[in-house]
Amino acid sequence: MKKTFTLSSSTSLTVNNVEGFSLIEVIIFIAILSMFLVTAAAIITVSMHQNSLQINKVRAVHYNDQLLEWLRSEKDRDWNTVTEKATSLPGGSVYCFCTEDVSWATASIKADKSDCCPTPLSLLFKRYVALSSSVFAPSGFSPSSQIEVTIDTDWQEAGNSYSTKLHTIFTPWEE
Amino acid sequence: MELIVAVGVVALVLPAIFNIFFVIIRQQIVLTAYQDMKRQGDSIAKNIKYILQNRASQITDATYLLEVCPLITTPTPTYFPRIYIKDRDDNSLSIYQDSLNSDKIASLAALPNKKYFLNTTSVQISQTSPLAFSCYRVNDFTPASVSVRYTVGKSALFKNVSLPYSFSVRLRNY
């Protein structure tokens, strides 16, 4: 549509009045788009966080299993060494295993588990085990020594702390 | 002008959405890879443990005649790629990484000559850290302890992920 405005007797201005977006339409569009994007961003953030958490859970469980298997093989190899390690551990202290190569040589004793692994395992995980030796003496049976084993693998992710735990009791195969 | 703004918005939003979409898909693939590796790695461990703990009575050489596990005095264990087992019913079997199909761990019964794979091709057993066994005895009259190690790997798009396994089993049917 063309409109002609007469400004004076000698001048006239022609305006092409093509239909466009009004301000209210633009505001509504931006509002809807913003709502969609904010919702999508929230869902995506949660989804990515959950994926990452699940990956790290699988890895943490594997690290726990790996340490338990190694301790079990140590127990089979030499029960006395494991008992000695358990009894020599001060109360509340833990053995930290911060490398994938698990051995007593790479383990360190820490009084506080939060001090474990200044360089975390795979740059993320803190893995430690608490050992406590005791004597199991059910009535009617001869007493037998046992070791309570609690393995933890902790990690920090997106400002939250996560942990996987394994708890078992070792008894000697033969004494 | 409005058309340019609309195209500009679409040009910014669409790549961002696709980028996020592919990041999530990639993460999902890595997660699935880890889950698959863990499931199959655990399954391999469970099968080998079952065979060694509940079936095996002797670890032998390739002829199934001579026992090979040394006394523990050996300072560092020597790892070997294949283990030969005599079971409690005097049957012979071996566990090894199949050379024809090197990404699988095979359990081979000598008679009848029957081969079972302990994992599927969806995961690979690492060539750089292959299946290996070692064994020892505390003394002449104690059962052998067998150490097993292998690494399960999988390709997850542009990333190779792996989980190392190692465990030790003591024979119960010595």
Write down the domain spans for chain A: 12-170
A14-46: burial string, b at 16+ Cβ within 10 Å, e else: eeeeeeeeeeeeeeeeeeeeeeeeeeeeeeeee
DSSP letter at A8 equals S
Mean predicted confidence (pLDDT) in A45-73: 93
Q: Which run of H or of E encompasses B147?
A: strand B145-156
Residues of A within 8 A of B41 (CB-CB) are 62
pLDDT at residue number A2: 53
- Number of Cβ pairs < 8 A linking chain A and chain B: 58
Residues B163 and B151 sit within 8 Å (Cβ to Cβ): yes
pLDDT at A78 over 80: yes
A145 within 8 A of A83, measured Cβ to Cβ: yes
Query: Contact B144/B171 with Cβ under 8 angstroms?
Result: yes
DSSP β-ladder status, A12-16 and A2-6: antiparallel
How far, in Å, CA of B35 to CA of B57, rounded? 34
Does the pLDDT value for residue A1 go beyond 80?
Answer: no
Whole-angstrom Cα distance, residue B146 to residue B136?
Answer: 7
- Considering its fold, how many domains does chain B have in total? 1
Name every chain A residue with its beta carbon within 8 A of the beta carbon of B166: 66, 69-70
Q: What is the pLDDT of residues A116-174, one digit of tens each?
A: 999 898 889 999 999 998 888 777 777 788 899 999 999 999 899 999 999 999 988 65
Q: Which helix (H) or strand (E) holds B138?
A: none
Query: Is B24 in CB contact (< 8 Å) with chain A?
Result: yes
Label residue A175 by pLDDT band (50, 70, 90): very low
Contact B38 A58 (CB under 8 A): yes
Instruction: Decide: A53 and A61 in contact? Cβ < 8 Å.
Output: no
For residue A42, give how far its alpha carbon lies from the nearest alpha carbon of chain B (Å).
12
Set of chain A residues whose Cβ sits within 8 Å of the Cβ of B165: 66
The answer to whether residues A166 and A64 touch, using CB atoms and an 8 Å cutoff, is yes
Q: Is A58's CB within 8 Å of B147's CB? A: no
Among B1, B20, B141, which would you mutate to test the A interface (most chain A Cβ atoms within 10 Å of its Cβ)?
Answer: B20
| A3 confidence band (pLDDT: 50, 70, 90) | low
- 3-state SS string over B60-118? ECCCCCCECCCECCCCCCCCECEEEEEECCCCEEEEEECCCCCCCEEEEECCCCEEEEC
The proportion of chain B whose per-residue pLDDT surpasses 90, expressed as a percent, equals: 43
Mean pLDDT of chain B: 88
ipTM over 0.90: no
Whether this prediction's pTM lies above 0.90 is answered by no
User: What pLDDT was estimated at residue B161?
Assistant: 92
B169, closest residue in chain A (CA to CA): A73
User: In the predicted model, what is the mean pLDDT of residues B9-27?
Assistant: 87
B74 lies in which domain range? 2-170
Mean pLDDT of A15-23: 70
Average pLDDT score over residue span B153-166: 89
How far apart are the CA of B117 and the nearest CA of chain A, in angstroms? 23
B86-129: per-residue pLDDT in tens? 988 888 999 999 878 768 999 988 777 888 999 998 999 998 88
- Say whether A55 and B27 touch across the interface (CB within 8 A): yes
Option in A20, A69, A77 nearest B145 (CB): A77
DSSP state of B137: B
CA dihedral of residues B45, B46, B48, B53 (deg, nearest 10): 130
What's chain A's Rg over C-alpha atoms?
33
| pLDDT value for A112 | 86
Statement: residue B143 has pLDDT above 50: yes
**Rounded alpha-carbon distances, angstroms, from residue B155 to A94, A159, B30, B53, B128:** 36, 30, 9, 32, 15
Q: Within 10 Å of residue B108's Cβ, how many Cβ atoms?
A: 16
Instruction: Among B141, B170, B171, B174, pick the best mutation site for testing chain A contact (most A Cβ within 10 A).
Output: B170
